[in-house]
Structure 1
Amino acid sequence: MGTWDTGPFDNDTAADFTNALDDVKPEEREALIRGVLTRTVDATGWLTEGEEAVAAAALIAAQCPGGDPIDTPYGPEEPMPAFPDDLRTLADKALARIISDEAGPASNWVDPEDWKQWRANLNRLRTVLAPPSPSIPLFDVEQ
């Protein structure tokens, strides 16, 4: 079937990736996610794992403040581990790489409106993944 909608799990490749997550031991899930994100960030040329990286980023974003829960039959059935904070940055970098690659997953969209929605979804994930800014006092008040 290929790609049927604009969500992070709405394509065969991402659904296969979540099945692979369900098939490995719980302690191996983080490494599987980290691997696909790292390979996407480091890729040159064609992004062979772009759809998997989007799904991985969505799983990480689901654990962040403001993240959407994974509520789709195409997502993993097994619970995900608590992901370390460094995966947020890696997922954001992977999404930036995917968004910038016009010949990769973006080329799946025939309808420009679908492409715009898909890109908006990725930008929403990036917003959630962005670490909060440290609060810096503007001035120090002595009492």
Structure 2
Amino acid sequence: MGTWDVGPFDNDTAADFGGDLDEVPADERQGIVRRALTRVIDTAAYLEAPESEVAVAAAALVAAQCPGGEPADPVYGPEEPLPDLTGLRDLALQALDRIMTEPSELMDLWAESDGAGPWRAEIGLLRSVLLPQPPGEQLSLA
């Protein structure tokens, strides 16, 4: 099926990642999310779309645990509980920034589609949730 929408788990690769997380012991899940993010951050050359799709899903899992974050996809995201991932916020931001920097196949593929604007908006929403909030301020859900 490939990609069916702009959400973090709206593609086969990310959906498989969600299922893979469910299949490993609970104490290994944070390491898998961390590796998905660092794999993208550490790629200086052409960044392939599958690695980016997994990193976007991983970033969404981190964001889901932050104030103002949306729950992970109930159908394609992991079903098993995840450990506290909020310590990975900075890595998640770095991974999203790398995905949005050339050379990035995922960014190029979305730029060639009708969904480029909504996809960029989805990445922007994830980034806004992941950004540290100044002390005393909280994200408004209004």
State the TM-score, normalizing by the size of structure 2: 0.87
Separation in structure 2 between the aligned mates of residue 23 and residue 80 of structure 1, nearest angstrom: 12
Whole-Å separation in 2 of the counterparts to 1:123 and 1:33:
20
- SS of structure 2 residue aligned to 1:9: coil
Runs of 4+ in 1 over 6 A off after TM superposition: none
Instruction: Measure the CA separation in 2 of the matches of 1:118 and 1:102.
Output: 17
Provide Cα deviations, 1:42-65, integer angstroms capped at 9, x if missing partner.
Answer: 102222310000000000000000
Change (3 A) 1:103 1:83: closer
Deviations 1:82-101 (A, max 9, x none): 1242x000000000111123
Separation of aligned partners in 2, 1:16 and 1:6: 16
- Over 3 Å counting, the alpha-carbon distance change for 1:65 and 1:57 in structure 2 is same
Please say if residues 100 and 107 of structure 2, whose CA atoms lie closer than 8 Å, have aligned partners that are also in contact: yes
Structure 2, unpaired ranges of 5+: 137-142
1:1-143 map, 5 Å: 1-48=1-48, 49-85=51-87, 87-101=88-102, 103-109=104-110, 110-112=112-114, 114-134=115-135
The number of residue pairs the alignment matches comes to 133
With over 3 angstroms needed to count, the CA separation of the structure-2 counterparts of 1:103 and 1:82, relative to structure 1, is closer
CA distance in 2, matches of 1:29, 1:132: 26
Letter matched to residue 97 of structure 1: R
CA contact (8 A) 1:2 1:11 kept: yes
RMSD of Structure 2 on Structure 1 (CA): 1.5
Amino acid at match of 1:125: L
Q: CA deviation at 1:102?
A: 5.6
Gaps of 5+ in 1: 136-143
SS of the residue corresponding to residue 53 of structure 2 reads helix
Asked which structure has the greater CA Rg, the reply is 1
- TM-score normalized by structure 1? 0.86
**Contact 2:45–2:103 (CA<8 Å) still a contact in 1?**
no
**Local SS of the residue matching 1:19:** helix
